[in-house]
Amino acid sequence: MPGWTRDTQKLAVLSWISFLTACVFTMLFFAFVDPLVLVDALNVNAIESRNAGYAVGFFFFWANGWIAGWYTLRLVRRKRRGPGAARR
């Protein structure tokens, strides 16, 4: 990825990994749960087709994967050493 900053690369990898994770979780979840039954249970009138339910579920899993990955990146971030920092 020439020309991309390190932060841009991290965001691209994070987005791709969360996309793949959402694909797997969507397949597993909707193998056992019918989206229309879930919509009826939650009393949501905006979703009227199975495909719309699948799409909403996929983006829900994608957003959750992205947020979890972003928090993980923030927690494992190392501090950069400055010119006056002690060397170990």
Domain that holds residue 70: 7-75
Please check whether residue 11 is in contact with residue 70, taking contact to mean a CB–CB distance below 8 angstroms: no
Task: Specify the pLDDT at position 7.
Answer: 84
CA separation, residue 5 to residues 1, 10, 49, 78, 79 (Å): 9, 9, 41, 17, 18
pLDDT in tens, 7-65: 888 889 999 999 999 999 999 999 999 998 888 888 888 888 889 889 999 999 999 99
Please check whether residue 21 is in contact with residue 61, taking contact to mean a CB–CB distance below 8 angstroms: yes
Domain-embedded: residue 19: yes
CA separation, residue 32 to residues 4, 47, 56 (Å): 41, 19, 16
Domain-embedded: residue 1: no
Quote the number of domains for the chain: 1
For the chain, the distance separating the N- and C-terminal CA atoms, rounded to the nearest angstrom, is 32
Domain-embedded: residue 16: yes
Task: Specify the pLDDT at position 84.
Answer: 58
Q: pLDDT class for 3, splitting at 50, 70, 90?
A: confident
Specify the higher pLDDT residue, 18 or 75.
Answer: 18
Domain-embedded: residue 87: no
